[in-house]
Structure 1
Amino acid sequence: MAIVSNQAQTISQLLEQSLIIPKYQRPYKWQPKNVNQLIDDIFNHRSKPCYRLGTVVLHQDKDSKSEQEKTDLNIVDGQQRLLTLTLLCSILDEKEKKISSSLLDHKFESSISIENLKNNAQIISERVASLSATEKKELLDFVLNKCELIQVTLDDLSEAFQFFDSQNARGKALAPHDLLKAYHLREMMDSTEQTERLHHVSLWEQGVNPDQGDNPKDAPANLHTIMGEFLFRMRRWIGGDYGIQFSRHNIDVFKGINLDSTQYAYVDAMLALDYAIETFNADPTRKWDKQTKGYPFQVDQVMINGKRFFEYIQHYMAIHSTLFVGKDARLSSFVDMHAKYRGSNRKGDSYVRNLFLCAVMYYYDKFGDVELNKAAQICYRWAYFLRLDLQRIGMESVDNHAKARNGLFRAISKAVHPQQVLNFQPPYKEPNFSNAKDVQASIEAMKSGSVNE
């Protein structure tokens, strides 16, 4: 690994360097609890001769053309802590104004970053407001000259991401989607231009924090939900595997092959399809007909690393919105009529609702609009059987139902035509408890054919 340096640096030494927040970085997201924890740590250890605050990973671009760019250090890991420390030092030094850092000049474009920086600056100001001028000076001296971070600088961005990934796998756990973002960006380094990588990162961050609009209830699901409660579960359940909780321990579900370096026989068809789509979209004719083709993803396919992974996630976020989000969604009225009833907000009922939505999404992924409403009825009857069968529903019961060999996911997986799914016979029973009456009425109406399509 091309490590340029790996040494302890005081906060003063770090902030004196030309630190850059690259555009692929996520927004500044530290909340009050994170800021207060850092300040508490500093207050509790300020009598020590030295206090170490963790590690930062930086990337120095060895291929930069200008001398300035060669001295710039892109922050790969540690942005949240560095920005908070910069805020703290700047506020403690507001009268002297001796603190100078490139981070103070950074122009933030994300509204999330701007809002969090304002809020956290207010929190820090309130925390140090009661200190005397002398105490502020002493605290600033401690932070700048006695607090340290291990600075790991690498001259290869791919290896910097790899180091970032491995550090967080061993230490404080990041969200699984953050680890996957780093992994697939690394897979893109040799095959895509920077502008394309930044484009995918921008869409990714929008997915993490989608625009809520005027009506949050009609806002699209965020990326965590789509990955953890839909794609992860579908990919696992289709194969008959555990799908309860998506975590950093099972992110391999979203890792696959690199088309540029994998030479297995089964990859040839995927490589040919990838080439055909790239060739079609690169045709000069597209400049006037504006017709482009997206990769024809299937939810349970072998994952293609790199940009196709990011496109895969965006594709299924769009499908989820098409089916369920807003009054114009394909199945909006069906869901409102049958999945929203007295008690539908109970935890167990929300698990069943997710199972139903996953099944519908899997059917739509395979057969599109063909017989969609009839298929939705089959999915509903199969998923909500659990509401008839069990008075209390846990996620384990849902998981067992979903991955069963005789279940609907397996039936959709094997189906070649929609009718094979419509022929599926969901189990049924008369419920022995009152909290299933509305569901029972919906299922009986579907069985009798009285539900409007």
Structure 2
Amino acid sequence: MISKQIDKEIITVKALLSLPNLSIPAYQRPYKWSQTNLADLLSDLKVYREKSAYRLGSVVFHKHIDSDKEALDIVDGQQRTLTLLLLVKALLEERLNSLKRQDVRETLIALTEPINSFLARQTFNSDISHRNLHQNFMAAKRAVARSDFTEADIDFLLNRCEVVTFVLDDVSEAFQFFDSQNARGRDLDPHDLLKAFHLREFSQSESQLKADSVRHWESLESEQLARLFANYLFRIRNWAQGKSAQYFNKSKVGLFKGVNLDQVGLYPYVEPLRIAHHFVDNYNGEYQRHIDHQHMRFPFHLDQMIINGRRFFEMTSHYQHKIHEIVSDERSGKPMAKNSEDKSQTIRILDHELEPLASKILHTLNTYRSRTRTGDGYIRTLFDCAVIFYLDKFGAHQLSQAIEKLFIWAYSCRLQMQVVGIERMDKHALTQNVFERIKQAVQPSDVLNWPLGTLKVSDCKGTKLSEITKLFKDMKYYE
């Protein structure tokens, strides 16, 4: 029986779509893959086509007898399987008659009957499925009709792209297996998916560096990495682009996928990245470094194009350390002299001593009584992201004045709102977008001279914020 042949096996796309007894059961959710998902799949085919094989994921089947024939219901993997089927169907319509490679032509001809048979017997009751299947089929036809979708690409798709297949006899066991797979998938945070992607992007000559990167990544706590990406890297990058940044999830990981310098074309925009990448490596590899013990870091910036592979792991390590230090410095303080009239604390950020007012602002944010409320936490994150982005752009130049400005910018939202949710935080970031201003700034003054309005008593609906209100009054932003 075919089911025994494919249980716990790795099979090609050709073998998967050749199965004569495939079925999408009625209880399955609608087909929801969009043209974006299809485009991602096609992009992967281009990126990995030089590899001997490329693993697309797993497919879980429930085997049962239907009308004295063995049937294989797809319990998990229908989105992927249907998309592959649409691609091959598009190839049959758009490319079959013009193929020059006989082996590719024969493979497609062999798939004609099982694909047509599947489509003839399969029904889709959801309008969502019908719409997405039609749109993806048309997109697939456009993609495979292009001259850059070569016959070698077709061969790679059919014969070297693979799935892992599991076959279970009992439907409850199949769903239990499916749930356990998904449970493991839910445990994989977005940063874990990025780890897997960027490990694949290492060049073959960097095997030792790859091992070092994995070792360092695994030494970091998963919760630390989750906070780093969700609270800071994701939000700063998106807000700087004028995009919403509420939740970082698996659908948003593309924000941290950039260019593979070994594979991307010789485009002008890539030249500065190539120059920096190779210059830093060359400098650190020169024999003089054994004498002067100098080491040059790659010049990372929070809003720059990601270089895939090793540089991604270096970037993550760089910002994990830098952001942790900034946030820790913000929340620490050195008591001032006992005879000082100012009983607040002087604070140093990245070894730069802040002026009294900036220190007082941070001391207040660290101690005011309502700071632990959820909404106040969102505003503190908003403020911290802006400070981090400013430091990333200008270092400690005029940092105290920047903290004053960014405090008024962020906490005006808190004073005006009785309740602050994540949507309100996001809206404030986008409607008064200091991140775009910092991104476009040439000098710190481009940020510091940004005019912010004063608040009136009638504007302020926030409660239990007397300490924040007092700072606004002292700074002449409250009337």
Q: What TM-score comes out, normalization by structure 1 length? A: 0.57
Partner of 2:8: 8
Contact preservation (8 Å) 1:385, 1:427: no
Contact preservation (8 Å) 1:162, 1:186: no
User: Does residue 1:275 correspond to 2:278, yes or no?
Assistant: yes
Change in 2 beyond 3 A, CA 1:440/1:306: same
Contact preservation (8 Å) 1:382, 1:427: no
Which deviates further from its counterpart, 274-283 or 169-178? 169-178
Partner of 1:349: 376
User: Does residue 1:415 correspond to 2:436, yes or no?
Assistant: no
Per-residue CA deviations over 1:3-54 (Å, capped at 9, x if unaligned) read: xx96439xxxxxxxxxxxxxxxxxxxxxxxxxxxxxxxxxxxxxxxxxxxxx
Per-residue CA deviations over 1:317-341 (Å, capped at 9, x if unaligned) read: 1221232215375179553333431
Contact preservation (8 Å) 1:351, 1:398: yes
Partner of 2:418: 391
Contact preservation (8 Å) 1:388, 1:440: yes
Distance (whole Å) between structure 2 residues aligned to residue 162 and residue 277 of structure 1: 38
User: Does residue 1:204 correspond to 2:234, yes or no?
Assistant: no
Distance (whole Å) between structure 2 residues aligned to residue 292 and residue 342 of structure 1: 45
Distance (whole Å) between structure 1 residues aligned to residue 475 and residue 292 of structure 2: 44
Distance (whole Å) between structure 2 residues aligned to residue 169 and residue 255 of structure 1: 24
Contact preservation (8 Å) 2:364, 2:468: no
Distance (whole Å) between structure 1 residues aligned to residue 205 and residue 407 of structure 2: 43
Per-residue CA deviations over 1:282-321 (Å, capped at 9, x if unaligned) read: 0011112111111101101111100111111111112212
Tell me by how many angstroms 1:199 deviates. Answer: 1.4
In the TM superposition, structure 1's runs of 4+ consecutive aligned residues that sit over 4 Å from their partners are 160-164, 167-171, 331-334
Q: Per the alignment, in what secondary structure is the counterpart of residue 8 of structure 2?
A: strand
Q: Which amino acid aligns with 2:200?
A: R
Distance (whole Å) between structure 1 residues aligned to residue 218 and residue 161 of structure 2: 17
Per-residue CA deviations over 1:223-266 (Å, capped at 9, x if unaligned) read: 11111110000000111111000000110011010011112221
Partner of 1:312: 315
| Equivalent residue for 2:465, pick from 418, 436, 451 | 436
Partner of 1:236: 238
Partner of 2:123: none
Q: Per the alignment, in what secondary structure is the counterpart of residue 291 of structure 1?
A: coil
User: Does residue 1:248 correspond to 2:250, yes or no?
Assistant: yes
Change in 2 beyond 3 A, CA 1:342/1:196: same
Contact preservation (8 Å) 2:236, 2:385: yes
| Equivalent residue for 2:262, pick from 239, 260, 263 | 260
Contact preservation (8 Å) 1:161, 1:182: no
Q: Which amino acid aligns with 2:391?
A: Y
Partner of 2:74: none
Q: Which amino acid aligns with 2:253?
A: I
| Equivalent residue for 2:362, pick from 301, 325, 335 | 335
RMSD, matched Cα: 3.0
Describe how 1:94-113 pairs up with structure 2 within 5 A.
Answer: none
Tell me by how many angstroms 1:171 deviates. Answer: 8.3
| Equivalent residue for 1:402, pick from 385, 408, 429 | 429
Change in 2 beyond 3 A, CA 1:170/1:387: closer
Change in 2 beyond 3 A, CA 1:163/1:335: farther
Tell me by how many angstroms 1:361 deviates. Answer: 0.3
Describe how 1:161-176 pairs up with structure 2 within 5 A.
Answer: 172-173=185-186, 174-176=188-190
Structure 1 residue runs of 5 or longer lacking an equivalent are 10-76, 79-159, 210-220, 449-453
Distance (whole Å) between structure 2 residues aligned to residue 189 and residue 382 of structure 1: 44
Distance (whole Å) between structure 1 residues aligned to residue 163 and residue 289 of structure 2: 40
Distance (whole Å) between structure 2 residues aligned to residue 206 and residue 425 of structure 1: 44
Contact preservation (8 Å) 1:161, 1:186: no
Contact preservation (8 Å) 2:415, 2:469: yes
Q: Per the alignment, in what secondary structure is the counterpart of residue 369 of structure 1?
A: coil
Distance (whole Å) between structure 2 residues aligned to residue 311 and residue 254 of structure 1: 13
Distance (whole Å) between structure 2 residues aligned to residue 410 and residue 8 of structure 1: 51
Distance (whole Å) between structure 1 residues aligned to residue 8 and residue 297 of structure 2: 47
Q: Per the alignment, in what secondary structure is the counterpart of residue 303 of structure 1?
A: coil
Distance (whole Å) between structure 1 residues aligned to residue 161 and residue 285 of structure 2: 30
Contact preservation (8 Å) 1:239, 1:403: no
Q: Which amino acid aligns with 1:269?
A: P
Per-residue CA deviations over 1:428-453 (Å, capped at 9, x if unaligned) read: 323245422211112333448xxxxx
Tell me by how many angstroms 1:352 deviates. Answer: 0.3
Q: Which amino acid aligns with 1:287?
A: H
Per-residue CA deviations over 1:74-115 (Å, capped at 9, x if unaligned) read: xxx99xxxxxxxxxxxxxxxxxxxxxxxxxxxxxxxxxxxxx
Task: Report % sequence identity.
Answer: 33
Distance (whole Å) between structure 2 residues aligned to residue 233 and residue 249 of structure 1: 14
Per-residue CA deviations over 1:176-219 (Å, capped at 9, x if unaligned) read: 111110000010142412x211211122122225xxxxxxxxxx
Q: Which amino acid aligns with 1:236?
A: N
The size of the alignment, in residue pairs, is 281
